[in-house]
Structure 1
């Protein structure tokens, strides 16, 4: 799981860049010389929307013309969303007035990606109240503390901006509560199960206010900050502590109180399709979260076919080796230490993946107050002008088996998120490309290389293949539940019956899976469908190129393209294939 920037990007640009152009009749036509200034301004306006996004995106904003910036967490309201949709539509209109033939090859790629992105975002303008920023695992209340803990301190101004953001937490969470109340009035509030899970997470986070990790970690960071005097360190420590105790803790207390009051107002304990426009919203989520243009029915069929193929392949392997079950019961990964795994993977992927300039990575541990509600591991994206410094968090909760962490480290590190993000950062692409969220591409890539990692993990070859097929099948089963619960309306009994056919006989596990799909709709699909789209493109490239196909060249093409929609990726892959022949 790659931890995203604080907010998903819905462009909130209100002032369109003044472009030079020629007039043909009544239609203004812009050319390639106008394009880069436009998308650069889009980046500048968007990156300044909140301080966390700015801090996580740029180490030196002044190098991009950002010299004065008021610290803010941004705003979260239906009014702001509508303003964003309006601005997106204005940009669509502006982009459609460009003379496409005057754009360079790189500009055409950016144009295709950005225009398609804006059109998909603008499509949800009447579904704003279906948005949900709070959820048990990927919700803001779970992600924000980690993002704040990793706020980059390059100078004193960064420290002061950080403390200012902490002091705005209660006000920002008040905006979220106001939005949740609007959802409640419209009959769109979450189920009590989801509310209880979020409330529990909030309580765990603020259990020991004086020892909250935003205090203890900040103090540790100040002690190691050599550019500050002792007096300055003590001053900042005190300011941070006051901000946590007087704003952050009250913000979470507010969430607990107001979500408790709203419990019982949720009209739906099932998937999104049980809401009036739930199916429409789910289709929007699938398209934007996965980057795939496949219809829901086609995705459902693809999942069935993949599950069948995986189980068939597992059966063939097991039937060919009478000792296979024993091997599966007794296998172990030679490497289990995260840092050793990262070092090994850097060397092991050199044959099939393009070289990456040297970067650093710190492996950190999730704070105990967040263990029960955070993924087993996640990677934090680096600043685009400081991609050398990277961070992977490991969750040491007892519910996760760290002896099995090898493929997870491949997913988060090499050749997964860390490698993919740093590789693209080193391409010096246009800054706006680093702000657009394409989870289907990024999680699809990370899942794809996770499956690859089984083959280089030091396991028996047949065991490695079985484990990879099993993981793919499991992801597809979860994704199948996601679609059928949220789009076709499966209830718990139907979900339980389906899972039982694959050996999920524990009713509690079936219940957890069912609830997870309701709480985090489309979450599993971005991993699963992203992976399937990428493997489909690889299969197509292999068929077209035959003996000329190279895994290294294919991987380099995908990485050079950078995060984008799969339809755009395929368009340019077709051109790439012709160049290889």
Structure 2
């Protein structure tokens, strides 16, 4: 899973039906069309960085580190108008005059823009925060900022000075949501007051916003440090904390009582159309909620059968529910302290690294590290997530792990989780994308959920090919994680389209997975706050696995898993239909190549 900060502004998934049939280029206008398209991509990339400064920060572009996204109604409507204008400008470019590569770039951007414009009617800006993040956790952007120069610190001071405005703007959006009946579920918003209160410290130096001033690098002159600390203390004491105190009062007394009791997306304004949109958006298919629900039920049954085999292998004599309870509670599967848990995650990551050559020929150059999820948000977020590296290579990728309540974090989940979030999962996917030097930036940093999370889930199963599942309990962990994503298909559609209650979804999850209740409740609440997103994982994994089986069947002894895995990643993040077309062409090319060419 990607870090929530990025998900708000990253290029995401598209609808199916994109046609990539070759068309004859028009030589006389090819140069003009190509120039126009590339200029359009450059201008839109720049607009995205300028309009969403947090995204620029995440990409390692420091030019806008002194500001936040303008969340005023005027700014939101202006951005929506600019998106509509961008769509018209893109359509005015002669697609037939482009090269094959640029036709693909054109079509990908066109469909993303079309979906962005279509999405405007749902007014998601009226729900500007969730229990997993928002203005109440604005300090977490520090994780993405480099503090090396005086200007870096002064940029942060300007962000601190502007933060009360962001809080005021957010409050205004929430008021609009209340008027429109477009609010988050009450059960989720009950988690937020504690997150806001975490910002109300008595000692300024304990504020998470003050963190960069606790230790300066040698590159910041001693003469500047006292001034910077004093200004930070002043801003946090006189502006930031009072603004959060006012926001807390508004949230507790006005907003929380007016949030909706329903959990279903279909109960939002124009809710059925909204959930239908999200299901297609996140899966890049035209599957209906009912079809996805049935796929999930079948996968749950299949994986359950595999779990029974592992239970028999380890000699456990009880029922599956008793086996799940054993996996959730036996001390052998848990570390005693957050530090021990963190060290174990680091050890698993190092164990994976040397085995990657068994399943890849191409290893990306960008490194990655392991970090704990910030303590303030850890109780309300998932087991782990990945933060991509900076697009210019100035910041490594990071695998964030949840150390909250180590007694709820079983060791049997560490191998599949690390394969998914770090290598060869999300880190390989994003690092390889950044190495597509000839592609426009939006393609190099793209994130389509069905492809990206499908790849992460597929990467968990690569652990078998890498020899990492020699312990049956680690294999049970892989099955548990596969089951986790199959269950998502059932409970997400169940809650948002079929009338399931939150409790029913939690119990279904617990009945079919050994994950702990702490994780299960957080997961279910995530699906409530982020409808449809969880559908992309299993649908994407099933397509990538299907294409692998097709490749092996058609290529026979010419099939090499290393080449297949490289071929999947070399497209960058794309809709599943585009990936399938690419792999079919790759198969055809391998069939025609001389036998000796199968090994590169």
Task: Give yes or no for TM over 0.5.
Answer: yes
Residues in 1 aligned to 2:259 and 2:193: alpha-carbon distance in whole angstroms: 15
Name the counterpart of 2:86.
91
Higher alpha-carbon deviation: 265-274 or 494-503? 494-503
Q: In the alignment, does 2:400 pair up with 1:408? A: no
1:175 Cα deviation from its structure 2 partner: 1.1
Deviation at 1:230, TM superposition (A): 0.5
Contact 1:411/1:446 (<8 A) preserved: yes
- The residue that corresponds to 1:376 in the other structure is 383
Distance 2:507 2:333 in 1: 32
Match of 2:431 among 422, 427, 444: 422
Residues 54-453 of structure 1 mapped to structure 2, 5 A cutoff: 54-59=56-61, 71-129=66-124, 132-137=127-132, 139-141=133-135, 144-207=138-201, 209-215=203-209, 217-222=211-216, 225-260=217-252, 261-316=254-309, 318=311, 321=313, 323=315, 337-386=344-393, 389-399=396-406, 400-401=408-409, 403-404=411-412, 405-428=414-437, 429-434=439-444, 436-453=446-463
Seen in structure 2, the aligned counterparts of structure 1 residues 171 and 6 have a Cα distance that, compared at 3 Å, is farther
Instruction: Write the distance in 1 (CA, Å) between the matches of 2:134 and 2:456.
Output: 23
1:474 alignment counterpart:
484
Q: 1:140 to 1:70 in 2, by over 3 A?
A: closer
> Does the alignment pair 1:488 with 2:498?
yes
Deviation string, structure 1 residues 277-321 (Cα, Å, up to 9, x no partner)? 1121122223333444433222222212211221233335555x4
Partner of 1:48: helix, strand, or coil? helix
Q: 1:575 to 1:242 in 2, by over 3 A?
A: farther
The separation in 2 between residues aligned to 1:496 and 1:379, in whole angstroms, is 25
Say which of 446, 457, 460 aligns to 2:470.
460
Q: Go from structure 1 to structure 2 and tell me whether the alpha carbon gap of 1:484 and 1:358 turns closer, same or farther (over 3 Å shift).
A: same
Paired residues of 1:184 and 1:265 also in contact (CA < 8 A): yes
Aligned partners of 1:415 and 1:507: how far apart in 2? 28
> TM-score, length-normalised on structure 2?
0.82
Q: Of the candidates 561, 581, 587, which is equivalent to residue 551 of structure 1?
A: 561
CA deviations on 1:225-259 (whole Å, 9 max, x unpaired) are 12221111222222233333334333433332222
C-alpha change, 1:288 and 1:434, in structure 2 (3 Å) is: farther
Deviates more, 1:80-89 or 1:348-357: 80-89
Tell me if 1:530 matches 2:540: yes
Deviates most, 489-498 or 125-134: 489-498
- 2:530 is equivalent to residue 520 of structure 1: yes
Residues 259 and 337 from structure 1, CA distance in 2 versus in 1: closer, same or farther, beyond 3 angstroms? same
- Cα distance change, pair 120–561 in 1 and its aligned pair in 2 (3 A): same
Q: Could you tell me how far apart the structure 1 residues matched to 2:514 and 2:471 are?
A: 27
- Alpha-carbon deviation of 1:342? 2.5
Contact 2:201 2:207 (C-alpha < 8 Å) held by counterparts: no
CA distance in 1, matches of 2:30, 2:88: 11
Other-structure match for 2:338: none
Write the distance in 1 (CA, Å) between the matches of 2:293 and 2:501: 17
Moved more, 490-499 or 289-298: 490-499
* Count of paired positions: 556
CA distance in 2 between partners of 1:332 and 1:504 (Å): 12
Match of 2:573 in 1: 563
Which whole-Å CA distance do the structure 2 matches of 1:419 and 1:509 have between them? 26
CA gap of 1:213–1:150, structure 2 versus 1, over 3 A, is farther
Cα RMSD after superposing both structures: 3.6
Deviations 1:501-541, CA, capped at 9 Å, x for gaps: 63799999987665443233234324333333433333443
Counterpart CA distance in 2 for 1:37 and 1:390 is 29
Distance 1:208 1:367 in 2: 20
Are residues 101 and 420 of structure 1, via their aligned partners in 2, closer, same or farther at CA, if it must alter by over 3 Å?
A: same
- SS at 1:31 equivalent: helix
Unaligned runs of 5+ in 1: 12-23, 62-68
Change (3 A) 1:528 1:82: farther
Q: 1:545 to 1:189 in 2, by over 3 A?
A: same
Q: Structure 2 unaligned runs (5+)?
A: 12-25, 336-340, 592-600
The alpha carbon displacement at 1:425 in A equals 1.3
Match of 1:66 in 2: none
Question: Does the aligned pair in 2 maintain the 1:191–1:263 contact within 8 Å?
Answer: no
